[in-house]
Amino acid sequence: MQVYILGGFLGSGKTSLLMKLATMFSERKAKVAILVNESGEIGVDGATLKAQGYDAMELPSGCICCSLSGTLQTALKNIKNDIDPDVIIIEPTGLALPHKVKELVRISMIEEDADVIIGICDIQRFRDLIKKKEEFFTRQMQGSEFILINKADVAQPGEIEDATAWLSERFPNKPIIPVSVKDGTNLEKVYELIK
Amino acid sequence: MSGNEENSMKEAGGCAAGFRGKFFNFNADAEARLADALMAVGKYVQGESGCLLGHIKAAVVNEKGEGITLNLIDMDNGVEHHGTLPRCDVVTFDFMCAVLDVDEHELTHKMLHAIDDSGIDYFIDKESLEHKHHHDHKECDDPDCDCHKHVQCDDPDCECHHHHHPDGECDDPDCDCHKHVHEDGKECDDPNCSCHHHHHSFADMIDENGHFSHDHHHHDHEHGECHCHDHDHEHEHEHHHEHGEECHCHDHEHHHDDECHGHDEEEKPKKKGLFGFLKKH
């Protein structure tokens, strides 16, 4: 069983990527389980996923200061026992630190074969994010096995190159891949990397 | 992890707000109005934070499970619409924001006004506005969770605790509840200030018809109990004037007489709501 954690800031395209990845795994006959969590007490992604035909488990956001850790581990154990999927995709909130989610996965004793953080960022707001929240964004990306630069289809000339240079400087060992979740650019490449 | 969630949000300077409810007679026009509501909230966030970093989302689902999602993450791109939904008599909605560098209370306030001003026939679920910091206490095993710091308050005049300390009063000098924080995010050092904006419960402002009550802006003036609005005007002026925008302080006044709905853009005519005839204003 593989566990994928989608790490990225609010609005970077995590939910869209999740749907694309889930479809790609399902098309290859893999059994996929989805866990989503959102900031605050009201969630939208769960409803979206269900409306789009995906069977997702929403982690009750409830009290964001004290409910997630035990709930996540319980949910993972239940999924393992009840569904025993080939793949679990976890989408934390856009304000979470994915490497800490990974730590929780590892201590939840679901005997996963691999746990992979896929970092994703939005090229359209990359500069604004770096300008305002560089340290936080860096922490979000630090545990990623590789980083996707999303929305490459609407990038202005030079933006992808600039973002790649910035990321490569800070994360020299991580592959940086421009993608467009919307039009599918490079998603097969991502699938080959993670499968 | 729980500590992480709280800390990471704090670390990012983020906040989340939202509520759920029902829309009636939901059709393409209502969808467009909902998109306008998202944009109204987006403008507020952009004005406060300087840019919209985060997302403002709404999911609308009918009884068959069919639904649409409206997502605003970039003011220039506008609201993204995902999915299609035929006209429905009743749908449920979830409306949420997770953004940076704004006050959560004021964000909720703007969201409620955005829905109320949209002209959509709506019903807001009061419970979705009630803060749930305490409902999971029995489940939480995090010794560092601030929720557990329920201690006794020694200030007999303190009124801060009613909403946040249902298990008892507080004598923790570091408890944020004791601080009078104004809508501009600055702590108040006026010993005579009686502002308690952050302690007003929005759930209490939802009437029996699920509507956001307009009374909240003026009820205290009439009784002379609350001076919140004196400061609001000062702060609101500061917020908007700094950003070069027209002052919206008076919008609230106008809601009451339904004569004017904002100065800086032409508004769509307000639809008469299902419960419109019950509205006081």
Per-residue pLDDT of chain B (281 residues; tens, 9 = 90+): 444 445 677 778 888 899 999 999 999 999 999 999 999 999 999 999 998 999 999 999 999 888 999 999 999 999 999 889 999 999 999 999 999 999 999 999 999 999 999 999 999 998 888 765 443 333 444 455 444 343 344 555 544 443 344 444 445 555 554 444 444 445 555 555 544 444 457 777 888 888 887 666 654 444 444 444 444 444 444 444 444 444 443 444 343 333 333 344 444 455 444 433 333 33
pTM (predicted TM-score)? 0.71
Q: Is A91 left (phi over 0), alpha (psi -120 to 50) or beta?
A: beta
Q: Which residue has the tokens 């793949």?
A: A87
A175, A146 Cβ separation under 8 angstroms: yes
Cβ–Cβ gap B2/A125 under 8 Å: no
Cβ–Cβ gap A64/B5 under 8 Å: yes
CB contacts of A8 in chain B (<8 Å) are: none
Residue A39 contacts B where some CB pair is shorter than 8 Å: yes
Touching B: A residues 50-109, CB under 8 Å: 50-52, 62-72, 93-97, 100-101, 104
CA distance A136 to chain B (A): 6
Please state the φ and ψ torsions of residue B196, each to the nearest 5 degrees.
Answer: -140, 40
Q: How far apart are the first and last CA of chain B?
A: 47
Give the integer Cα–Cα distance in Å for B20 and B26: 15
Cβ–Cβ gap A11/B2 under 8 Å: no
Q: Give the helix ranges, DSSP H, for chain B.
A: 2-12, 28-49, 104-118, 219-223, 228-242, 249-257
Touching A: B residues 100-119, CB under 8 Å: 100-101
Which residue from B164, B227, B235 is spatially nearest to B195, judged by alpha carbons? B227
CB contacts of B14 in chain A (<8 Å) are: 10, 39, 95
- pLDDT under 70 in chain A at which residues? 40-41, 60-69
Tokens standing for B71?
A: 């997502």
- Complex prediction ipTM: 0.84
Tokens standing for B224?
A: 């002379």
Q: At what angle do helices A68-82 and B2-12 cross, to 10 degrees?
A: 120
Closest residue in B to A69 (Cα–Cα):
B1
Closest residue in B to A93 (Cα–Cα):
B5
Cβ–Cβ gap B73/A10 under 8 Å: yes
Q: What secondary structure letter does DSSP report for B258?
A: T
In Å, how far are A46, B57, B249 from B94, measured between CA atoms?
10, 8, 27
pLDDT at B129: 86
Tokens standing for A163?
A: 């973002």
Q: What is the DSSP string of B43-107?
A: HHHHHHHSS--EEEEEEEE-TTS-EEEEEES-TTT--EEES----EEEEEEEEEEEEESS-HHHH
Give the integer Cα–Cα distance in Å for B67 and B190: 49
Tokens standing for A98?
A: 């994915």
Residue-wise pLDDT tens digits, A26-73: 889 999 999 988 776 677 787 778 777 787 888 766 433 335 667 888
Cα B46 from chain centroid (whole Å): 16
CB contacts of B140 in chain A (<8 Å) are: 63, 66-67, 70
Residue A40 contacts B where some CB pair is shorter than 8 Å: yes
pLDDT at B278: 37
Sign of the torsion formed by the C-alpha atoms of A67, A68, A73 and A74: positive
Q: Least CB-CB distance to A69: which of B2, B131, B146?
A: B2
Closest residue in A to B92 (Cα–Cα):
A47
pLDDT at B230: 47
Residue A11 contacts B where some CB pair is shorter than 8 Å: yes
CA distance B261 to chain A (A): 28
